Amino acid sequence: MNDSPEKNNNVTIATIAERAGVSSATVSYVINDRKDVKIAEATRNRILQICDELNYKKGAKRERSEKKQVTIDDIAREAGVSTATVSYVVNDRKDVKISEATRRKVLQICNLRQFIPSPVARSLAGRKNNLIGICAERSDFFSKNAELFDLVCQLRRALNEQGYGALLVSPDQIGTSHLETVDGMLCVDLSEEQFYALKESLFVPIVAIDMSVDDPLFFKAYTDFRAVAAAARSRLPAPLHCIAHAYRNEGYMNELKAAFPDLYVAKDIPALLSYVRARRGDRFLFLEETLAELCLPLIDAGSALVACRGASAPEAPALRLPAEVKAKHAVAMLQSAIARRESEPHSFLLTPQP
């Protein structure tokens, strides 16, 4: 095995993860110097040593604050290809055989690093297939699936209005040829490990929905739980029990817990109903309509608020958090990412609507 930096020109986070015997997410945390994630010091040192051995300089190793001019050599180094290959790609040379995966990887890195000779700008601005992937994972809890299905339907509708087709994929298809035809990706509530695996294997613009992603390069659309909590408490006095589904994305789940210290995460219907019955004289906020429909017969509807994602709501006062609004903003941000409109806002926070 030859791991010399001079000859190993195609090192990725996945390569380092396999060498270190850890997940890709763990490698990403280390190279980005994440202090909020608990990683053993021995593991951290092993990963950094492997990065040094393979001459991998990304994340914490790269000085992003420097405004130096990005060169074709920089693009080639990060893409793990020769400078000639980068030149062929950015000049759209059709007489040179380059795999589609390599071409897209080079263009994506040019996009992220703002290396924009005019041929690249033309290539990045064009859409090849007008097909967008929607990556989401089903839950074991039926009411969570109802919430997810509604959001996916709104995303497909918003994409169709902009002339895109939609391809629904699951996280276990990450890294397969199934995704080679998409021009962009909308990810819904993926775990950090799933998201980092996706971004390492797919070199197209990505928008993260209902996720906490600590990377300014990615566009994000999610619910502002603190704004929801403030609106709810202005209408119902504390203490207020918040009933919600669990999210796979740990960071997003932590934001929900921070906004609602008295949070009940619904995972089982009998346990949920038992919890509500034991507190039938208290006040409740239901962050999902199906959960409210299950519990409202047990309590006074006047002591409850329901976060309503659609036009109709159960028989209780409602806070409007339309899935349609979140979906339209997510699609608009994806269009900005595809067209390289970097000055556009990278985050959309859904707050209670009038």
The secondary structure of residue 313, as a DSSP letter, is -
Token duo for residue 3: 């791991």
Contact 25, 38 (CB under 8 A): no
- Measure the CA–CA gap between 291 and 286, rounded to whole angstroms: 7
Please report which helix (H) or strand (E) contains residue 265, including its range. Answer: strand 263-265
The secondary structure of residue 315, as a DSSP letter, is S
Contact 18, 4 (CB under 8 A): no
- The sign of the dihedral angle between the CA atoms of 235, 236, 239, 242 is negative
b/e burial code for range 87-102 (CB count within 10 A of at least 16 → b) = bbbbeeeeeeeeeeeb
Please report which helix (H) or strand (E) contains residue 307, including its range. Answer: strand 304-308
- Measure the CA–CA gap between 118 and 116, rounded to whole angstroms: 6
Token duo for residue 186: 């909308």
DSSP E strands: which ranges in 67-199? 131-135, 165-169, 184-188
Residue identified by tokens 């007489």 is: 95
Q: What is the dihedral of CA 28, 29, 32, 38, to 10 degrees?
A: -170
Residue identified by tokens 């839950």 is: 139
Is 293 exposed, middle or buried, given 0-12, 13-18 or 19+ CB atoms closer than 10 A?
middle
Please tell me the chain's helix, strand, coil percentages from 3-state DSSP, rounded to the nearest 5: 45, 15, 40
Q: Tell me the pTM.
A: 0.66
| Cα–Cα nearest to 205, from 71, 332, 118 | 332
- The tens place of each residue's pLDDT in the chain, 354 residues long, gives 444 444 445 677 878 888 888 877 778 778 877 766 678 888 888 888 888 888 886 543 344 334 456 778 788 888 888 877 887 788 777 777 888 888 888 888 887 777 755 444 444 444 467 899 999 999 888 888 888 999 999 999 999 999 999 999 988 887 766 677 788 899 999 998 888 888 877 778 899 999 998 877 789 999 999 999 999 999 988 889 999 999 999 999 999 999 999 999 999 999 999 999 999 999 999 998 899 999 999 998 889 999 998 755 566 788 999 999 999 999 999 998 888 787 888 899 999 998
Q: What is the pLDDT of residue 83?
A: 76
| Cα–Cα nearest to 170, from 183, 147, 152 | 152
**DSSP strand pairing (184-188 vs 131-135):** parallel
- Measure the CA–CA gap between 120 and 130, rounded to whole angstroms: 18
Q: What is the pLDDT of residue 1?
A: 42
Q: Can you say how many angstroms the Cα of residue 16 is from the centroid of all Cα atoms in its chain? A: 22
Token duo for residue 121: 């700008």
Token duo for residue 173: 């298809």
Contacts for 167 with CB less than 8 Å, ≥ 6 apart: 131, 132, 133, 134, 179, 181, 182
The secondary structure of residue 330, as a DSSP letter, is H
* Residue 344 identity: E
Question: What 3-state DSSP class applies to 36?
Answer: coil
Q: What is the pLDDT of residue 57?
A: 65
What is the SS3 assignment for 187-254?
EECCCHHHHHHHHHHCCCCEEEECCCCCCCCCEEEEECHHHHHHHHHHHCCCCEEEEECCCCCHHHHH
Q: What is the pLDDT of residue 21?
A: 85
Task: Give the number of C-alpha atoms closer than 13 A to the C-alpha of residue 333, restricted to the C-beta side.
Answer: 25
| Cα–Cα nearest to 184, from 341, 13, 333 | 333
